[in-house]
Amino acid sequence: MALVKFIEYADASAEVRAVYDDIMASRKVDWINNFWKALANDPVTLKRTWESVKQVMAPGALDSLTKELLYIAVSVTNNCTYCINSHTAIARKAGMTDAMFAELQAVVAMANETNRLVIGYQVETDERIANAAKQR
Amino acid sequence: MALVKFIEYADASAEVRAVYDDIMASRKVDWINNFWKALANDPVTLKRTWESVKQVMAPGALDSLTKELLYIAVSVTNNCTYCINSHTAIARKAGMTDAMFAELQAVVAMANETNRLVIGYQVETDERIANAAKQR
Amino acid sequence: MALVKFIEYADASAEVRAVYDDIMASRKVDWINNFWKALANDPVTLKRTWESVKQVMAPGALDSLTKELLYIAVSVTNNCTYCINSHTAIARKAGMTDAMFAELQAVVAMANETNRLVIGYQVETDERIANAAKQR
Amino acid sequence: MALVKFIEYADASAEVRAVYDDIMASRKVDWINNFWKALANDPVTLKRTWESVKQVMAPGALDSLTKELLYIAVSVTNNCTYCINSHTAIARKAGMTDAMFAELQAVVAMANETNRLVIGYQVETDERIANAAKQR
Amino acid sequence: MALVKFIEYADASAEVRAVYDDIMASRKVDWINNFWKALANDPVTLKRTWESVKQVMAPGALDSLTKELLYIAVSVTNNCTYCINSHTAIARKAGMTDAMFAELQAVVAMANETNRLVIGYQVETDERIANAAKQR
Amino acid sequence: MALVKFIEYADASAEVRAVYDDIMASRKVDWINNFWKALANDPVTLKRTWESVKQVMAPGALDSLTKELLYIAVSVTNNCTYCINSHTAIARKAGMTDAMFAELQAVVAMANETNRLVIGYQVETDERIANAAKQR
């Protein structure tokens, strides 16, 4: 159970409502999910977090769906049930097919595996790789 | 320093050389990086890991570059220096621009932040989200 | 569901009861929470863990509330529901207000974010910072 | 080695310089550390991250030093060398004594230990604890 | 709730049934657990994962029980409830006693604690230790 | 670089020397490694940590080598270089062969992989597994 009360729209301050309105308008939905209702206990964090998410997740050099897949990859690695569910829902809406979902999971799992082989063997980065990884 | 010796091509068994040859052919390179040279101490794991990576990272419903970005997202979350370097190098070669790299980092960092807000407030998944996340 | 049975006071050995008595006396409560009842299956670990927790969490150079906040910060980062709940309960009792709780979550989330920006960009520590971080 | 070039003040755009100036003014220092110089490759993320850090780390219901200690607790749990060094440096400047540093480490380590005992035994949260953890 | 449907034996393709049959034969059970039924949505990952698990967990230089204990140690550190349950069930069947289970948890917890003391103090590896850790 | 000075035997208090003497006697070595020299800045934590490690790592229902392997499994999952090195050194001395080391790494990596498949698909624990995992 959440450690704070959820702030419903009807009970929200003008400051919180402004954020709720922007979330609904930006996402083209007519309801607010629990995450924001919990954060609304701290209006400053609510506003900053929403504005940051909106900025970071907007399409740019990477499209929106790719960004959602990256979000899921992190959330699976960190084991965040809410986050996996909410970003899988958004990704499906944005066009993620079952095949894409399955490949995403396979890559995330494989990366978690090879990360530990590298760490377990304490492999040093090849000079050529370090050079190729750097900005030109 | 790596906890095992690196097995160079010249010193490798036929079994290990076969994997090395496939890595070089698949990746269109003429050298083997330290990760595989360390794993070659355990030829069964070398072969299985390479074949798994090759299968998982091949383009499918997701293209190769997206898969590399997902790999980096996991590796950053797990703090694996070697993995971040090697997959950033591959991603750059596959077309990742500086702008894409920057957006990738911003998404990974943001996901790590909001994951903890969700967990810290112990927010329960909305029923609507759980339904929308599920396979149709 | 817990993987072991909970050892109730009535069924506990003298050795376990002595620890339970000390927990209740130290914390000024008249009941034992599930964590200790699970650990009581292994009386040596029960005793060592309780004595360690008691020593580490006692006020010293840092006061008790600050220590509880640190405990929550780690538990959120590790995603331990039980631990977040139990230490939030203790922290509230020790004077943590809603505003403090909200700021705690904001700092924990922000640290998780910037940790990944540093790691993702593979930023080396500035020499000045390394020097300033060291004990004088 | 960092995966991007560091943007020095002399080479920075007006937009980046404005952030650098604010960092130096706010922190009362006359130089910029590597983290910001790396982020400056992505001026939007630089600005957003700095403004977020400034907002979140400002004294409020929790004082600045407590916030720095929380930052270190997260960074140790995540194993971020740069972050441990930079926030230990800030914390020392803000009054963290050697004794406080030692107690901080002991609490962080202990929390990491008991988190895993709870998880390993799969202990369910006591109803009384869940109730006491919730906002009144 | 799982994000995909479970594929029951009766509804499975020949390809999936072949894997299910091998799982049941290898493990000497007459049913398939949810993990494989979820993975069966992606038959290629199902087959690869099962064959990898079968290869890696087979007795070799380390016996099966030791491998199960290692699996639990990782799963506790990563906080994977399903994995802790399933490998604890296998380990009990393979002879893990209550005393062994308790010692396993104590070691896992202690390692998580001392890992953070080392990281928190940023202790460099002793040259003697680095040498003794390396393959002869 | 470590954030504290190392306390050498010659400069240590009687209290610290007593711990150092016990470490050397118990481990049959004539020198103290950096971890303890760093912790010696906080003699209470030094003593508690050493006594805990000594108790937890002593052979019991699990033998010493198995406990060292578990320690390495956790340290690899957490990415603690010092810990991987020091416990690999101890494990080699206690009889860990190259083949055992390789199998250990393969199991740790595989567990990290399947942990994420379970989490990514959000698979619920089978009732039969939950029952079989519980203490009889």
Task: Count Cβ neighbours within 10 Å for each residue of D45-61 and write b for 16 or more, e otherwise.
Answer: bbbbbbebbeebbeebe
Closest in A41, A78, A79 to C102, CB measured: A41
| pLDDT(A28) > 90 | yes
Put simply, the answer to whether A41 touches C98 (Cβ < 8 Å) is yes
- Residue A72: closest CA among A40, A104, A115, A45: A104
The tens digit of pLDDT for each residue in D56-78 reads 999 999 999 999 999 999 999 99
Chain E residue nearest residue C134, CA to CA: E121
In this predicted structure, what is the pLDDT of residue C136? 85
In this predicted structure, what is the pLDDT of residue F68? 98
The tens digit of pLDDT for each residue in E108-125 reads 999 999 999 999 999 999
E111 and D112 Cβ atoms separated by less than 8 Å: no
Q: How far is the C-alpha of D107 from the C-alpha of D104, rounded, in Å?
A: 5
pLDDT band at A136 (very low <50, low <70, confident <90, very high): confident
Supply the mean pLDDT for chain E. 97
Closest in D76, D117, D120 to E116, CB measured: D76
Residue B48 in tokens: 């299985």
What mean pLDDT do residues D111-134 have? 97
CA atoms within 13 A on the CB side of E72: 34
Put simply, the answer to whether A107 touches B57 (Cβ < 8 Å) is yes
In this predicted structure, what is the pLDDT of residue A37? 98
Closest in F79, F88, F99 to B3, CB measured: F88
Put simply, the answer to whether A52 touches D52 (Cβ < 8 Å) is yes
How near does any CA of chain E get to the CA of B57, in Å?
12
pLDDT band at F52 (very low <50, low <70, confident <90, very high): very high
* Chain B residues with beta carbon closer than 8 angstroms to that of E79: none
Q: What is the model's pTM?
A: 0.98
| pLDDT(A43) > 90 | yes
How near does any CA of chain D get to the CA of C21, in Å?
19
Closest in A1, A133, A135 to D5, CB measured: A135
| pLDDT(F14) > 90 | yes
Closest in C1, C48, C52 to F134, CB measured: C1
Put simply, the answer to whether A129 touches B53 (Cβ < 8 Å) is no
C93 and B104 Cβ atoms separated by less than 8 Å: no
What mean pLDDT do residues F29-52 have? 98
Q: What is the DSSP letter of E125?
A: P
Summarize chain E as % helix, strand, coil (round to 5).
70, 0, 30
Helix axes E64-78, E98-121, angle to 10 degrees: 50
Put simply, the answer to whether F84 touches A122 (Cβ < 8 Å) is yes
| pLDDT(D34) > 90 | yes
* Chain B residues with beta carbon closer than 8 angstroms to that of A63: none
Distances (CA, A) of B12 to D89, F84, F100: 48, 27, 21
For chain D, which chains pass the contact test of at least 3 CB pairs under 8 Å? Answer: A, B, C, E, F
What mean pLDDT do residues F34-63 have? 98
Residue D42 in tokens: 């992505």
* Chain E residues with beta carbon closer than 8 angstroms to that of B133: 3
Put simply, the answer to whether D85 touches F3 (Cβ < 8 Å) is yes
Put simply, the answer to whether F83 touches E122 (Cβ < 8 Å) is no
In this predicted structure, what is the pLDDT of residue E1? 85
In this structure, chain C runs to a length of 136
How near does any CA of chain A get to the CA of D19, in Å?
17
Rg (CA), chain E: 19
The tens digit of pLDDT for each residue in B20-42 reads 999 999 999 999 999 999 999 99
Closest in B56, B104, B117 to A110, CB measured: B56
| pLDDT(E136) > 90 | no
- Interface mutation target, options B55, B135, B136, chain E, most CBs of E under 10 Å: B135
- Tell me, rounded to whole angstroms, the distance of Cα B43 from its chain centroid: 20
Distances (CA, A) of B3 to A78, A119, B88, C36, F71: 28, 10, 24, 39, 16
E-F Cβ pairs (cutoff 8 Å, strict): 224
D120 and C84 Cβ atoms separated by less than 8 Å: no
Q: How far is the C-alpha of A9 from the C-alpha of F35, rounded, in Å?
A: 54
In this predicted structure, what is the pLDDT of residue A1? 85
What mean pLDDT do residues A98-114 have? 98
The tens digit of pLDDT for each residue in C50-76 reads 999 999 999 999 999 999 999 999 999
Distances (CA, A) of F47 to E53, E81, F16, F17: 41, 34, 8, 10
Closest in E103, E111, E133 to F89, CB measured: E133
- Residue D86: closest CA among D100, D99, D97, D76: D76
pLDDT mean by block of 10 residues, chain B; 136 residues:
96 98 96 98 98 98 98 98 98 98 98 98 97 94
Alpha helices (H) along D28-97: 34-39, 43-57, 64-78, 81-93
Supply the mean pLDDT for chain A. 97
ipTM entry: 0.97
Q: How far is the C-alpha of F5 from the C-alpha of C136, rounded, in Å?
A: 9
What mean pLDDT do residues C12-34 have? 97
Four-CA torsion D112, D118, D122, D127, nearest 10 degrees: -130
* Chain E residues with beta carbon closer than 8 angstroms to that of C78: 79
- Interface mutation target, options D5, D39, D44, D45, chain B, most CBs of B under 10 Å: D45
The tens digit of pLDDT for each residue in B105-116 reads 999 999 999 999
Say what percent of chain A tops pLDDT 70.
100
In this predicted structure, what is the pLDDT of residue E133? 97
What mean pLDDT do residues F70-81 have? 98
* Chain E residues with beta carbon closer than 8 angstroms to that of C80: 79
Report the SS3 class of residue E7. coil
* Chain E residues with beta carbon closer than 8 angstroms to that of B132: none
The tens digit of pLDDT for each residue in E50-106 reads 999 999 999 999 999 999 999 999 999 999 999 999 999 999 999 999 999 999 999
Q: What are phi and psi of A4, to 5 degrees?
A: -135, 165
In this predicted structure, what is the pLDDT of residue B136? 85
For chain E, which chains pass the contact test of at least 3 CB pairs under 8 Å? Answer: A, B, C, D, F
- Interface mutation target, options B42, B44, B76, B125, chain F, most CBs of F under 10 Å: B42
What mean pLDDT do residues F71-83 have? 98
* Chain E residues with beta carbon closer than 8 angstroms to that of B52: 48, 52
In this predicted structure, what is the pLDDT of residue C64? 98
The tens digit of pLDDT for each residue in C17-26 reads 999 999 999 9
* Chain E residues with beta carbon closer than 8 angstroms to that of D85: 122
Closest in F79, F81, F120 to A109, CB measured: F120
- Residue A76: closest CA among A117, A119, A50, A112: A112
Residue type, F104: L
